[in-house]
Amino acid sequence: MKKLVVLIIATVMQFICFAQTDYKQIRVSDDIELIQLSENAFVHVSYSDLPGFGRISSNGLVFISGNEAFLFDTPATNTLTKELVTWLADSMKLKIVGFVPNHWHGDCMGGLGFLQDQGITSYANQMTIDIAKTKGLPVPDHGFKDSLQLQLGDKQIMCYYPGAAHSLDNIVVWIPSELILFAGCMVKSIEFGNLGNVADGNLKAYAGTIDKLLLKFPTVKIIIPGHGAVGGLELIKHTRELSAK
């Protein structure tokens, strides 16, 4: 019950923080929203029921160039992912041309099966691919080890593996044109008072991995965590403090 109350508070805080920073919100459905961060970048926020925790929100990123877009993390299910991708196509005339999951958990790639049915190319940490194979999950198409540079129109997308933290395979995605870092679940929003679920991660390595982010992305403007409100460098610093407890 205590965990559920914390998650409800976190969800409410997310809306408060978004409202305070005047980001435009677009309601796709009862279970999906878009938060516009810039002309070319939207956070997709999806809601799903997690056994033992109740209804929780998860963040992903849609990055656009012209009428094409990359998707970073999917909603937790194929059904929700179909709903998001269909809405982007119908309402924004966007074609998803690539996908990158932050790590292997369902709130990152639970909709990969639908994307593969649509012929959308996926890229992931090779560790994510290896874990997906052992767990009988849909497997991303192309793997990388340390880093990967992708191109969307004239815009760069940089994928990095800084080390184990929330999970052994978690990566971050840097969008230099927007100064946006999609950090996913390894970085915690300010309203969270602990590191959350680290059952598949590495607590000993966590602090060192976060230190790498502080050194590598000093110019970041917006950081997107896996859950909760977006922020700036204070999110990485907050997570560093949590990892030292």
The domains of the chain, with CATH numbers, are 2-243 (3.60.15.10)
Q: Is 102 a catalytic residue?
A: no
Q: Which amino acid is at 222?
A: I
Q: Is 125 a catalytic residue?
A: no
Which of 105, 159, 170, 238 is flagged as catalytic? 105
pLDDT tens-digit series, residues 6-55: 343 444 444 444 443 579 999 999 999 999 999 999 999 999 887 776 78
On whether the CB atoms of residues 158 and 149 are closer than 8 A, the answer is yes
Q: Is 2 a catalytic residue?
A: no
| Per-residue pLDDT, 21 | 54
Which of 40, 103, 169, 170 is flagged as catalytic? 103
117 Cβ contact list (under 8 Å, min separation 6): none
Which of 3, 24, 194, 197 is flagged as catalytic? 197
Which of 166, 169, 170, 238 is flagged as catalytic? 166
Find the mean pLDDT for residues 155-161: 98
Q: Residue 43's closest CA among 219, 171, 186, 222? A: 222
| Per-residue pLDDT, 16 | 40
pTM of the model: 0.90
Weakest-pLDDT range from 17-21, 61-65, 188-192: 17-21
Which of 31, 59, 185, 238 is flagged as catalytic? 185
| Per-residue pLDDT, 176 | 97
| Per-residue pLDDT, 154 | 96
pLDDT tens-digit series, residues 107-150: 999 999 999 999 999 999 999 999 999 999 999 999 999 999 99
Q: Is 107 a catalytic residue?
A: yes
Q: How many whole angstroms separate alpha carbon 194 and alpha carbon 74?
A: 24
Rounded to the nearest integer, the mean pLDDT of the chain is 92
Q: Would you give the distance in Å from CA 73 to the centre of its chain? A: 5
On whether the CB atoms of residues 97 and 89 are closer than 8 A, the answer is no
What are the residues facing 35 on neighbouring strands? 25, 43
Q: Would you give the distance in Å from CA 48 to the centre of its chain? A: 15
Q: Is 238 a catalytic residue?
A: no
Q: Is 166 a catalytic residue?
A: yes
| Per-residue pLDDT, 4 | 35
Whole-angstrom Cα Rg for the chain: 16
Which of 107, 108, 159, 238 is flagged as catalytic? 107
DSSP annotation of 133 reads H
Which of 44, 159, 170, 188 is flagged as catalytic? 188
| Per-residue pLDDT, 50 | 72
Q: How many whole angstroms separate alpha carbon 88 and alpha carbon 178?
A: 20
| Per-residue pLDDT, 147 | 98
